[in-house]
Structure 1
């Protein structure tokens, strides 16, 4: 019983095309959707960055898929605005929406002109934002003074079903911290031992809810073509923190990514022309305990990937829809 979702990468694909792609993915057998939320792409070659929240309304209205978004409240977005956005989508589409709340990346957040805080400050700010958002979703009037400021905010449109607020983590330490507040965990594909550490850290710290995994992959008719796609589109995304957190511009990402080898990309992206191998990789993630897999084909042209995986990979995994999550308000 595994959810196999389609990841919508706004950094790479314009929102009009991405809407067609996720509708195509639903027809092909994908059972959920997930969306990035960026102001800037990771490279000039990607070249897009639509507004995720407008897209989410359209995607939820034109498919039957449940959807999640990875968001960073606290700088580019005030937490009261995120609470209002979450509440509105959850009221319109009960039980079909979740939001992962992270500490953000400078490439998106520095646009406000505020100082980009140290990591420990960003982590503390996130905890404040989560508390503000939860209280607003419960219908409270909220005032707060701290790393974020809120003055008598109240949501007047509330969902019947309060959506999950999910903790995104790329390290065991972050996963353990998120366990204190999160309704679920999400991370990205890493070496199996690192993924096990992240999942174990979350569960051992009392973390509840589904374990979600986003998987960067590249498939084409040949291994060379699959690698060429991955190297062109995703070589700026192979660095460990703090590089992705603290690099501020697309131009800087292109500089640091210019010397990245195909071998290095292969360590961050599942690259193969063999659909059976892709199915094996996904089955290994399921066996490790990841309950929802969100597939991100790192190329810009999604149709061939959707058709190939819909015909040859998804049937081997018997994907199901997510169970209705969250609680009645």
Structure 2
């Protein structure tokens, strides 16, 4: 049966409010959760950027839900530090934590003052980071000289079983590459044909583990309100790579998004006041083989969304 979880957006909501939201989501019937790991929001209107790793410890303690995080080792995080963070949470909460690894965005990584590498270099850097992280989680002492450097690193606190390292991809090409190393795949909602291409690329390349999907959506009591929320909060997130990879500041995203329309936002966000319509979209995604689906309401007030989807949508998709 497909798992339906809630996505906690640190870019948009204060961590205290996010913690209350995931606790309420658990009570409402959501059975998993995941979160973003950002240093900067996508827009000044979003206005938050809590530290995901601190919050994850609190959220795992406050609920019984399994949690995942999408993170980018290699620049902002040295891979040994990422491995230590993953290992500690997995040791404290066995079987309840996974991490998805991606190549990152300049908006988070430029803060180190280092240059932002080309995409092919970032891909090679992530390959090295995965190798380092897996070795450390296996209890090995690691030395590595490459795009990242590691000197005699060893994790002293280890989980009984290494958690899953998931590959993050939005294109079939990246999905095929993830199949070479990942324990599963995560992507974001797109037209069904595109999602099928991504999923098939991963499976056809021998990819193992579950397919995960993050679904951006906007729901409100009226269609007008749902559209207003989506446009206000998520219009800076309509841009395809490399734009979304390479812009550095929230102000930059706000400038390039000044003339984005509601119709453009609805191409990347499921916008409707009709709960049955949302349930049908989720069933469509599940039919493609996505086994864990995480719902990201792009508004900043999660309580109405959690309550409405818990009462009316989850029963429809889990029946």
Establish whether TM, by shorter chain, passes 0.5: yes
Q: In the aligned structure 1, how far is the partner of 2:175 from the partner of 2:239?
A: 19
Pairing 1:100–2:107 present:
no
Instruction: Give the CA deviation at 1:111.
Output: 0.1
Which residue number corresponds to residue 265 of structure 2? 265
Instruction: Give the CA deviation at 1:40.
Output: 0.2
Q: In the aligned structure 1, how far is the partner of 2:260 from the partner of 2:3?
A: 33
Which residue number corresponds to residue 138 of structure 2? 138
SS at match of 1:268: coil
Q: Aligned pair count? A: 319
Instruction: Give the CA deviation at 1:318.
Output: 1.8
Deviations 1:180-215 (A, max 9, x none): 000000000011111000000000111000000000
Q: In the aligned structure 1, how far is the partner of 2:143 from the partner of 2:310?
A: 48
Which residue number corresponds to residue 325 of structure 1? none
Which residue number corresponds to residue 156 of structure 1? 156
**Match runs of 1:50-61 below 5 Å:** 50-61=50-61
Q: In the aligned structure 1, how far is the partner of 2:311 from the partner of 2:16?
A: 25
Q: In the aligned structure 2, how far is the partner of 1:115 from the partner of 1:194?
A: 32
Which residue number corresponds to residue 284 of structure 2? 284
SS at match of 1:294: strand
Which residue number corresponds to residue 275 of structure 1? 275
Pairing 1:202–2:212 present:
no
Pairing 1:44–2:51 present:
no
Instruction: Give the CA deviation at 1:161.
Output: 1.6
Q: In the aligned structure 2, how far is the partner of 1:35 from the partner of 1:172?
A: 23
Which residue number corresponds to residue 212 of structure 2? 212
Which residue number corresponds to residue 64 of structure 2? 64
Aligned-CA RMSD value: 0.6
Q: TM-score, normalised by structure 1?
A: 0.96
Instruction: Give the CA deviation at 1:106.
Output: 0.1
Q: In the aligned structure 2, how far is the partner of 1:219 from the partner of 1:248?
A: 30
Gaps spanning 5+ residues in structure 1: where? Answer: 320-329
Name the structure, 1 or 2, with higher relative contact order (CA <8 Å, separation 6+). 1
Q: In the aligned structure 1, how far is the partner of 2:172 from the partner of 2:188?
A: 12
Instruction: Give the CA deviation at 1:16.
Output: 0.6
Instruction: Give the CA deviation at 1:316.
Output: 1.0
Which residue number corresponds to residue 188 of structure 1? 188
Q: In the aligned structure 1, how far is the partner of 2:301 from the partner of 2:13?
A: 8
Which residue number corresponds to residue 167 of structure 2? 167
Runs of 4+ in structure 1 over 4 Å off: none
Which residue number corresponds to residue 6 of structure 2? 6
SS at match of 1:167: strand
Deviations 1:141-185 (A, max 9, x none): 000000000000000010002100000000000000010000000
**Match runs of 1:111-122 below 5 Å:** 111-122=111-122
Q: TM-score, normalised by structure 2?
A: 0.99
Instruction: Give the CA deviation at 1:243.
Output: 0.8
Instruction: Give the CA deviation at 1:79.
Output: 0.2
Pairing 1:250–2:280 present:
no
Deviations 1:114-149 (A, max 9, x none): 000000000000000000000000000000000000
